[in-house]
Structure 1
Amino acid sequence: MRIAGFAPIEDYAALADGRVVALIAKDGSVDWLSIPTMDGTSVFGALLDPERGGRFALRPVDRFEAERRYLPGSNVLETTFETASGRLRVTDALTLQDGGLLPWIELARRIECLRGSVRMRWSCEPRFDFGRVESRIARVRGAAVAHGGARDRLALLSWGAGEPELTTTAIAGECELSRGDSALLACICVDNEPIPLPTRPEVEGRVDGTVETWRRWVEGIEYDGPWREAVERSALALKSLTYAPSGAMAAAATTSLPETIGGDRNYDYRFAWIRDSSFSIDALGFLGLREQVHESLSWLLSATESTHPRMEPLYTLGGEVPAAEAELPLAGYRGTGPVRQGNSASGQLQLGTYGDLLETVRLYAYHGNAIDELTATRIVEICDLLARTWHNEDSGFWELPDRRHYTISKLSDWGAFDRALALARDGHLRIDDATRARWQRAQEEIREFVETRCWSERKRAYTFHEDTDKLDAAVLLNARIGYVSPDDERMLSTIDAVRDELGAGGPLLYRFTDMRGREGAFVACSFWLVTALVRAGRPDEARRQMDAMLELANDVGLYAEEIDSDTHAFLGNFPQALSHLALITAAVTYNRVSESGKFPASAAEEVSR
């Protein structure tokens, strides 16, 4: 049910074509689409402003019930509308051609009546450039064409869906379909180009071909363990967030979905984080998706080259440093503003990103690949920089405005040297004895700092930052880093302390101390807990945690960034890469450990087996 025109975040499903992502609500309205790329400007933005944002609505005229699913092994959505008079199926796809990208963006909506008769109403209301540009709509060769400013163009093609009516702001129509009837709508978007007007058979063929393209990709997933369906759906979600021209993975498809209604924690996640790219190597490498792993690493190395040896926390999908953050003239989801374009975390010092990069490179090597000479040289230079700077305060994993000695940053720094030294032992890096000694000395100093300044005897836990008793769920990532053995006494008590203090009810966890009431529970933290429990030798607890989390996915298996601990409503940007990355890693770790009976110390050791 919509509130003041806003659908619940969990009511959305995502379509993708490797460049853009569209979000469709359960009532059939496309409320989000940015063009010409995921990090572009919205043409449908009702997600953030039902009045000014624009949409592409399609629904029965009469009262209805809706059920939906993704066609198996695909990111093509099927919604079944049931009314008193009949049943109707809508198949939605961002189409592909011959297994690759079309030269234009094509959103196809195929309508088929399965029983009785159903009257449908549709309306395409483009609002270019986040609603800042008025549309000019005209008929051209049987199509309705909307122009937005000098560059953006949209064409709406209709077959069997009623005669389109044009107004100054919308293209709309109605049709009544009886059993066996079908109709088709196609929305074509281009950027400063001529507008193609394909035929119905061409669009129909691409819808079917798109399903097959996704299924061929899914066939490459090498996983037969528990929770296979959730793992597959998460892999498809991650693929939908991957920008095919560069291999970068966006953190999410949206901007400014709030972490709490009425708050101000609204951020643009349509960028690629070094951290998320590293985690994607873990998750997708576990699934045997070698091409995707190579894409992620290649993008990461290319993007970071321009700022080497320093690294930005995030880059654009094209691999550039993001422009300054700006606020947009949209109301915000359920009135929660501001709506932002850009992300102020760019430019922060986040020392943990160096560990993420080194983890990525080591995992790539463990997949049987070679490290080129230029990359090896860059790694040495990065580690030398980190040896000089690890002792600085930073903004930490959570990108906070207050710089501190965050424990997770120190663990990640320790991990950076650990991975670099391992690469050297395996012959991927050439370093002299002085360099090796310098890195080992930095490791020892980090360990002394963590054990003396970032450990709470009162809580019996590793802490949020130095000289505090506050806790941080991110320290569960020790299961990935391997700073201490996963069944080390201090880690075991940390796991229990985190569950006790940060627990948000059921399987949910807050990010760190004092976040209750300020935001929702952070989905990835709950899956990190699964991985930590598995590696700590507590598989029964891990399975219960995993099962409980899977119950909280939406009806098509997707997650946002956060979940309200009381209502289980979704909060934050959607769909969220980090949530799905963490799910895959948790499931695969559980499966591999269950099969072997061994508890590897880190993700890298797990991959190497």
Structure 2
Amino acid sequence: MDRIDGFAPIGAYGVIGDGRVAALVAADGAIDWLCLPDLSGPAVFAALLDPERGGSFELRPRDEFTAQRRYLPDTNVLETTFTTADGVIRVTDVLTLQEGRLLPWVELVRRVEGVSGRVDVAVRVRPRFDFGRLATRWRTERGYPVARGGSTAVSLVTDGDCELRCEGDTLTTTVSCAEGSQRLVCLVGVDDEPLVFPHLDQIGTRIGRTADFWRQRASAMRYDGPYRDAVVRSGLALQLLISQSSGAIAAAATMALPERIGGSANFDYRYQWVRDASFILDAFMGIGFQAQAHASFTALQRATNRTHPRLQPMFRLDGDPRLPDETLDLRGYRDSRPVRIGNGAAGQLQLGNFGDLLDTTWRYTNDGHVLDTSTARRVADVANLVTALWTCDDSGIWELRRSQRPYTSSKMACWLTLDRAITLAEDDHVPKARAEHWRRERDRIHRFVEQHCWSQRRGSYIFYADADDALDASVLLAARMGYPASTDRLEATIDAIRSELGAGPFVYRYSGTQSSEGAFLACSFWLVEALALVDKVEEATELMDQLIGAGSDLGLFSEEIDPTTGTLLGNYPQGLSHLALINAALVLQRA
């Protein structure tokens, strides 16, 4: 793996996690991203965004090496094999669990095993608390090296004789590993809690038991259709984004990774998005993640209840609607600035979110579950609100910050809101007093879309009502939501989107983005799903075959991709990309 001016390619990272935090491990042995005390907290290691000021945890052979890596089968435990002229070592990276549950502390373990010969391993730990905004200095406490920044503290626990050297904010050591030997290097982290120094034998035991936990999760997947390996890896990747404490799922493990190298579209995705909700429920129920589906649905209901009847697009993982919106004084990934923390889109009106919320609710009940009284009332309130709001312009699914318009996909989602509310009322899940009003407004929305959002000249549904010729790939979701478009119109729209927004197997979000960002991977999988739903299964399968190979060597997908070079772009791993992959595979299985 070659770094460019200190930056590793996005696709060169493996990801490990414990349902609370996630770490990005580069193929050269550097952990360049870790936030504490949770996924959306301040970074302790952020070399991902600034190699000099961001901090990292490096463990690699001291001499020149080559590296090969993999996840242990059906786990989120990462294994990297380093080969040097003098020998071979195997490094296992894992964020450990205790019998499948979170430890009271974060325990990031790096086990080094000698495979052949003897290899000297260089270790360098450079924490930079709060994205480098807090001063860091190591000191010895109870015989262990400890670094503190604000309320956060980390320590390094090692086995055997190794000389630890502290120089300001950097801790270094060298570990020698011969054939048949094993060494442990463990980073322990806490926030506003006492700092524990775990016993080495217990750490070693937890490595194997954590791997067993992930294997149990993988074996619980109820999926034996096409692309099973990719579906299992996607399911495991999504597990890394789920908060064990709340059940919410983050959009991605990272922030500020650019949609174009050197560009300014660098957003923070470490929050839960209402938009993702129906995709999550569909995917999780489809692969047998029943408990996770229930947990994510409950987390969504708790969060949206805090702003009811207003519905904001995203929330913190604990359901808090208050998100920061600031920039950090960091270099940015390959000089892509600004580096944003928080998300300014939290205050937008996105009409599509109402459809996402009610579609999720419908899918939940359709799987045999029952709503509580307060949730049922809120669902009816949402439907009533949409009858008043659907004529408004909004920021759309793409969160366009200065372009409120009557977006076609938003209007279709308003249709979806009322259609699902009607069905829920008919099935006695929600109050039905205004069901006839919902029906009338639903039909009005349909007439509006067919009259104003279809271009006869273009032969396609267009980006927004009465637009000239602009197209939007999110309209592909019409087939998924069951929007009552004719097959001819759906097929014509698919053809138009492939022609204008397609780049090989990939699809850009909307007209004009080809020069400013990469192709959006979820849109590419939505195209697979749309093709299958209009009975073009062979085309859908050919496209899926190409897309599956577009991820990293570990099977992880980011938000976007450069269609020319295959370079992954945007935040990583991206939950929506993996959800779209799973849902496309499920549709192909049923086709």
TM over 0.5: yes
Once the two structures are overlaid, the 10-residue window that deviates more, 154-163 or 444-453, is: 154-163
Match of 1:567 among 562, 565, 572: 565
Residue matched to 2:256: 256
Residue matched to 1:498: 497
Letter in 1 for 2:555: G
In the alignment, structure 1 residue 586 sits paired with structure 2 residue 587: no
Contact 1:143 1:158 in 2 (8 A): no
Residue matched to 1:597: none
Letter in 1 for 2:567: A
Q: 2 CA distance for matches of 1:28 and 1:479?
A: 44
Q: 1 CA distance for matches of 2:458 and 2:162?
A: 67
Secondary structure, aligned partner of 2:345: coil
Once the two structures are overlaid, the 10-residue window that deviates more, 356-365 or 172-181, is: 172-181
Q: 1 CA distance for matches of 2:208 and 2:237?
A: 20
Residue matched to 2:284: 284
Q: 1 CA distance for matches of 2:413 and 2:206?
A: 45
In the alignment, structure 1 residue 444 sits paired with structure 2 residue 443: yes
Residue matched to 1:603: none
Q: What are the superposed Cα offsets for residues 87-119 of structure 1, whole Å, 9 maximum, x if unpaired?
A: 110000000001100001010000001011111
| Displacement over 6 Å in runs of 4+ | none
Q: 2 CA distance for matches of 1:238 and 1:484?
A: 32
Residue matched to 1:538: 536
Residue matched to 2:509: 511
Q: 1 CA distance for matches of 2:444 and 2:489?
A: 19
Residue matched to 1:32: 33
Q: What are the superposed Cα offsets for residues 353-406 of structure 1, whole Å, 9 maximum, x if unpaired?
A: 010011111111111111111111111111001101110000000000210000
Q: CA deviation at 1:335?
A: 1.1
Letter in 2 for 1:330: L
Residue matched to 1:314: 314
Secondary structure, aligned partner of 1:288: coil
Using the size of structure 1 for normalisation, the TM-score is 0.95
In the alignment, structure 1 residue 4 sits paired with structure 2 residue 2: no
Secondary structure, aligned partner of 1:180: coil
Q: 2 CA distance for matches of 1:324 and 1:210?
A: 34
In the alignment, structure 1 residue 328 sits paired with structure 2 residue 328: yes
Contact 1:161 1:183 in 2 (8 A): no
Q: 2 CA distance for matches of 1:160 and 1:541?
A: 58
Residue matched to 2:230: 230
Secondary structure, aligned partner of 1:107: strand
In the alignment, structure 1 residue 138 sits paired with structure 2 residue 139: yes
Letter in 2 for 1:286: G
Unaligned regions of 5+ residues in structure 1, if any? Answer: 594-609
Secondary structure, aligned partner of 1:243: coil
Q: What are the superposed Cα offsets for residues 231-287 of structure 1, whole Å, 9 maximum, x if unpaired?
A: 001011111001111111110111100111111101011111011122100111111
Q: What are the superposed Cα offsets for residues 537-569 of structure 1, whole Å, 9 maximum, x if unpaired?
A: 011111111110011110110011000121111
Residue matched to 2:269: 269
Letter in 1 for 2:15: A
In the alignment, structure 1 residue 240 sits paired with structure 2 residue 240: yes
Q: 2 CA distance for matches of 1:323 and 1:368?
A: 34
Structure 1 557/280 Cα, relative in aligned 2: closer, same or farther at 3 Å?
A: same
Q: What are the superposed Cα offsets for residues 330-361 of structure 1, whole Å, 9 maximum, x if unpaired?
A: 11001111111110100100011010011111
Q: 1 CA distance for matches of 2:201 and 2:129?
A: 29
Identity of matched residues, %: 48
Residue matched to 2:519: 521
Residue matched to 1:465: 464
Q: CA deviation at 1:452?
A: 1.1
Q: What are the superposed Cα offsets for residues 494-529 of structure 1, whole Å, 9 maximum, x if unpaired?
A: 00110000012x211100011112000000001001
Q: CA deviation at 1:161?
A: 7.0
Q: CA deviation at 1:160?
A: 3.4
Unaligned regions of 5+ residues in structure 2, if any? Answer: none
Letter in 2 for 1:437: E
Q: What are the superposed Cα offsets for residues 286-333 of structure 1, whole Å, 9 maximum, x if unpaired?
A: 112110110011001100111111211000111011333011111100
Q: CA deviation at 1:142?
A: 3.0
Q: 2 CA distance for matches of 1:241 and 1:160?
A: 35
Structure 1 224/25 Cα, relative in aligned 2: closer, same or farther at 3 Å?
A: same
Q: 2 CA distance for matches of 1:227 and 1:491?
A: 26
Letter in 1 for 2:578: H
Secondary structure, aligned partner of 1:57: strand
Matched positions, count: 588
Q: 2 CA distance for matches of 1:436 and 1:179?
A: 72
Secondary structure, aligned partner of 1:411: helix
Contact 2:63 2:84 in 1 (8 A): yes
Structure 1 394/241 Cα, relative in aligned 2: closer, same or farther at 3 Å?
A: same
Q: 2 CA distance for matches of 1:540 and 1:253?
A: 34
Residue matched to 1:426: 427
Secondary structure, aligned partner of 2:220: coil
Contact 2:505 2:543 in 1 (8 A): yes
Q: 2 CA distance for matches of 1:224 and 1:247?
A: 26
Q: What are the superposed Cα offsets for residues 41-98 of structure 1, whole Å, 9 maximum, x if unpaired?
A: 0000000000000000011111111111111111110000111221110000000001
